[in-house]
């Protein structure tokens, strides 16, 4: 799971067009103020242990929110952070599960439409911790530290 995070004053999006994997009844337009925008790419390797991907991502995001003093999340499916994408079914399951788990933790969390092209507007805060990336390891749990058997095995078939 790859995430690019932006601590934002405001995020807005609106769906423009379906892809083949579009979810049928998305929220077509939405916005959020004072939030952390999480551009998220589910990778093929996340299909091995999707539950671990969800729990590890939720823990990493909670920690990051706490450091930022942020309480709101806009989870934004974004296929451009990795080349080896997970299949749409698992990817949606993972993103919806992350949303549910964050909401259970008391964090207001919106999820942008999966499988739709979207126009969007972002106003970032620009402080030293405002932009960040997270790579969650689906094998070891937690953030990638290059020590799991997957990173050791460059064939990536683990």
Number of residues that this document lists for the chain: 158
Q: Which stretch binds a second copy (CB under 8 A): 52-60, 62-70, 93-101, 127-135?
A: 127-135
**Contacts with a second copy in 12-31 (CB under 8 A)?**
14, 16-17, 19
- In 3-state terms the chain splits into helix, strand, coil percentages (rounded to 5) of 30, 35, 35
Tell me if 157 contacts a second copy by CB under 8 A.
no
Under rule CB under 8 A, residue 155 binds a second copy: yes
**Residue window 63-92: x/- pattern of binding to a second copy, with contact defined by CB under 8 A:** ---------------x-xx-x---------
Burial label, 25 (beta-carbon count in 10 A; 0-12, 13-18, 19+): exposed
Residue 43 makes CB contacts below 8 A (sequence gap 6+) with 1, 2, 82, 84, 85, 86, 138
Pairing of strands 2-18, 29-41: antiparallel
DSSP 8-state assignment for residue 142: S
Q: Which of 120, 139, 140, 148 binds a second copy (CB under 8 A)?
A: 120
Choose, by CB under 8 A, the member of 135, 139, 140, 141 that binds a second copy.
135
Binding site for a second copy (CB under 8 A): 4, 14, 16-17, 19, 78, 80-81, 83, 117-128, 130-133, 135, 154-156
């Amino acid at each position: 799971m790859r995430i690019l995070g932006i601590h934002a004053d405001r995020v807005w999006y609106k769906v423009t067009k379906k892809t083949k994997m579009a979810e049928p009844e998305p929220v077509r337009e939405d916005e959020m103020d004072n939030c952390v925008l999480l551009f998220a790419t589910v990778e093929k390797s996340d299909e091995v242990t999707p539950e671990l991907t969800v729990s590890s991502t939720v823990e990493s995001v909670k920690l990051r929110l706490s450091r930022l003093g942020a309480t709101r999340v806009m989870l934004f499916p974004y296929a451009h952070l990795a080349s080896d994408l997970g299949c749409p079914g698992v990817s949606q399951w993972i993103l919806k599960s992350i949303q549910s788990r964050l909401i259970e933790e008391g964090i207001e969390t919106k999820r942008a439409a999966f499988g739709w092209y979207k126009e969007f507007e972002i106003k970032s805060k620009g402080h030293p911790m405002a932009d960040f990336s997270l790579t969650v390891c689906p094998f070891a749990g937690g953030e990638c530290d290059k020590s799991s058997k997957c990173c050791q095995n460059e064939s990536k078939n683990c």
